[in-house]
């Protein structure tokens, strides 16, 4: 009888231990969303294994993660992208003016890179060609004279259509002193909701902001506001010569709860207003995955809020992180309305690019409401199309209207735009209109008989000004049959964007040709970003 009781006890103990270990195993299994983030985070950092703090998921337990996780099912994604209407050729005889707001955002390229590296074909709405082209730097001369911009232009053969010409238009903003020497009041507005728990979100946010703080000096102040189910001030604006105090506040952040983004923005703006620096940089830097699901959630309400604050010279920049619920559509629009820029941070290397290498241009605005208008000579150009900038196109009347909002440019920033031109005498496949019954086409001026190809006009305001100033430059086509390295590379990037969007105007562009054009135009490529682009094209070829 005694031996039977012992056997029964051992059996119960064994069953109990098995159940206990099953519970532990279940608790430690990594969410598939986190698995994908881990893999991408490791690829970005370049290390075979990576120890990260899984805040909000594992109670800060340190775990060793390996790059063999499964990719999340894309059907689970709730990412949001706006529809982009592809622009076609416009006739110079009926529409001689092209007007658009400049764009210095780069979020689209980094986001596309994340998706392609994960083996995913990007949705067409995620492809903003101007942000792809402007992700890369080009060699434009520094401005001379009183204006803070130089205007540069090159005309050559269009790589994807032998009968057309390609115009690369570039502007370069004047360099200023390093951001550490500029008085600034920066409010970090950090999303700490439950969706931010994966390592490519809040942990990467913290590491990224620590890098920025290291770039700043005693003239810079940093405050921290967080939001989840509610919002609150974690750190009042503190001079950056006290980095340990700022780092300590960042290290205490944890992810959990819903996302009251609207309340967080309001709290951040109130703090920025309270510590406002006259004549300095006053900026809210929002770090989020874009998941606004509680409180002030409608895009129109958010847009109205940030527009009003921008009028009072408190600007909004957005750093986007992570995947799965990334709200690109909302974040891109509110950053535009907030006189700021929008970057997507998919790795610590991208954080270094945006917040270290480009810290001054990211933070210090040199001019606001910058817009460009081009007038084409109808005796030189039959038709044209602006490649990209679809959501930046403005009415021709808006160019001289100082009440119309446009893009802002930071110190040292470059802005590049590409136009495909159809010379007079070449056929163009576009719908025609019936002859007008009550009026005739305008008569050209004697100036149209010159060899001028087009005239570029640029308007801008001083950062705290209300009246714009204008710069004008005339552009000629000398008939060159060659493209500089910079123009050829920009064309390769634009060609890749057209392929990703299945653009009907892509001509004979192909992935093979894009790769060929890019390889032939690497130049110095000091940071290796152009080589990285070629690898991205090759990666897409394997999943396409």
Q: Number of C-alpha atoms within 13 angstroms, CB side, residue 490? A: 31
CB-based contacts of 487, cutoff 8 Å, min separation 6: 154, 156, 166, 168
DSSP state of 94: T
Lowest-confidence segment of 85-94, 183-192, 295-304 by average pLDDT: 295-304
pLDDT band at 456 (very low <50, low <70, confident <90, very high): very high
Q: How far is CA 68 from CA 32, 35, 305, in A?
A: 12, 9, 44
Asked if 90-107+132-176+366-426+449-485 and 179-363 have one fold, the answer is no
pLDDT of residue 273: 96
* 5 vs 460, more confident: 460
Distance CA 61, CA 129 (A): 41
Closest CA to 137 of 172, 176, 107, 174: 172
Contact yes or no for 94/512 (Cβ under 8 A): no
Q: What is the rounded average pLDDT for all residues in the chain?
A: 84
Rounded to whole angstroms, the Cα distance separating 300 from 1 reads 79
Q: Is the pLDDT of residue 22 over 80?
A: no
**Residue 40 in this model has a pLDDT that exceeds 50:** no
Q: What is the secondary structure of 453-493 as a DSSP string?
A: EEEEEEEEE-TT-SS-EEEEEEEE--------HHHHHHHHH
Please determine, for residue 29, whether its predicted confidence score (pLDDT) is greater than 80: no
Q: Cα dist. 261→268, 297, 477 in Å? A: 11, 7, 50
317 vs 62, higher pLDDT: 317
pLDDT of residue 7: 56
Dump pLDDT digits (tens) for 352-404: 999 999 999 988 899 999 999 999 999 999 999 999 999 999 999 999 999 99
pLDDT recorded at residue 44: 39
- Tens-place pLDDT, residues 199-249: 999 999 999 999 999 999 899 999 999 988 667 899 999 999 999 999 999
**pLDDT for residue 335:** 86
Cβ-contact 508, 160 below 8 angstroms: yes
Q: Tokens standing for 96?
A: 């001689």
Predicted confidence at residue 61, as pLDDT, reads: 26
Domain residue ranges of the chain, discontinuous segments joined by +: 90-107+132-176+366-426+449-485, 179-363, 509-539
Mean pLDDT check: name the lowest of 256-260, 406-410, 518-522: 256-260
Read off the pLDDT of residues 414-434 as tens digits, 9 standing for 90 and up: 999 999 999 998 877 777 778
CATH architecture of 90-107+132-176+366-426+449-485: Sandwich (2.60)
Check whether 258 has a pLDDT greater than 70: no
CATH of domain 179-363: 3.40.50.410
């Amino acid at each position: 009888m005694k031996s039977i009781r012992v056997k029964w006890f051992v059996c119960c103990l064994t069953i109990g231990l098995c159940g206990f270990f099953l519970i532990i195993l279940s608790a430690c299994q990594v969410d598939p969303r986190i698995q994908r983030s881990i893999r991408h985070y490791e690829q970005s950092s370049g290390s075979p294994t990576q120890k990260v703090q899984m805040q909000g998921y594992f109670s800060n337990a340190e775990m060793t993660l390996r790059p063999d996780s499964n990719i999340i099912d894309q059907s689970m994604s709730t990412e949001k992208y706006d529809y982009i209407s592809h622009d076609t050729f416009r006739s110079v005889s009926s529409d001689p003016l092209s007007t658009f707001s400049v764009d210095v955002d780069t979020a689209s390229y980094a986001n596309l890179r994340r998706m392609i590296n994960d083996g995913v074909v990007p949705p067409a709405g995620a492809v903003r060609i101007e942000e792809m082209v402007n992700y890369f730097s080009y060699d434009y001369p520094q401005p001379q004279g009183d204006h803070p911009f130089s205007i540069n232009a090159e005309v050559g053969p269009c790589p994807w259509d032998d009968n057309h010409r390609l115009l690369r238009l570039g502007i370069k903003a004047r360099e200023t002193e390093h951001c550490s020497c500029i008085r600034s009041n920066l409010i970090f507005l950090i999303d700490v909701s439950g969706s931010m728990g994966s390592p490519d979100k809040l942990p990467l946010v913290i590491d990224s902001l620590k890098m920025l703080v290291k770039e700043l000096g005693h003239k810079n102040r940093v405050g921290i506001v967080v939001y989840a189910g509610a919002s609150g001030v974690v750190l009042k604006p503190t001079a950056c010569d006290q980095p340990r105090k700022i780092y300590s506040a960042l290290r205490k952040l944890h992810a959990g709860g819903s996302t009251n983004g609207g309340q967080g923005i309001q709290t951040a703006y109130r703090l920025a207003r309270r510590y406002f620096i006259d004549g300095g940089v006053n900026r809210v830097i929002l770090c989020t995955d874009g998941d606004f699901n509680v409180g002030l959630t409608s895009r129109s309400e958010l847009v109205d809020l940030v527009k009003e604050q921008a009028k009072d010279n408190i600007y909004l920049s957005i750093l986007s992180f992570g995947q799965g619920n990334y709200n690109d559509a909302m974040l891109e629009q509110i950053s535009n309305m907030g006189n700021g820029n929008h970057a997507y941070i998919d790795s610590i290397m991208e954080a270094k690019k945006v917040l270290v290498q480009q810290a001054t241009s990211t933070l210090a605005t040199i001019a606001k409401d910058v817009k460009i208008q081009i007038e084409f000579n109808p005796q030189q150009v039959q038709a044209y199309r602006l490649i990209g900038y679809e959501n930046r196109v403005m009415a021709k009347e808006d160019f001289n209207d100082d009440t119309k909002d446009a893009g802002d440019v930071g110190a040292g920033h470059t802005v590049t735009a590409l136009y495909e031109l159809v010379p007079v005498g070449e056929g163009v496949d576009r719908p025609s209109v019936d002859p007008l019954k009550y009026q005739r086409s305008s008569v050209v001026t004697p100036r149209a008989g010159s060899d001028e190809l087009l005239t570029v006009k640029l308007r801008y305001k001083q950062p705290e000004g209300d009246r714009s100033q204008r710069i004008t430059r005339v552009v000629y086509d000398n008939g060159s049959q060659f493209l500089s390295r910079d123009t050829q590379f920009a064309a390769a990037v634009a060609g890749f964007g057209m392929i990703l969007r299945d653009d009907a105007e892509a001509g004979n562009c192909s992935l093979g040709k894009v790769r060929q054009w890019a390889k032939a135009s690497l130049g110095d490529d000091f940071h290796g970003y152009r080589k990285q682009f070629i690898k991205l094209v090759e990666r897409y070829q394997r999943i396409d």
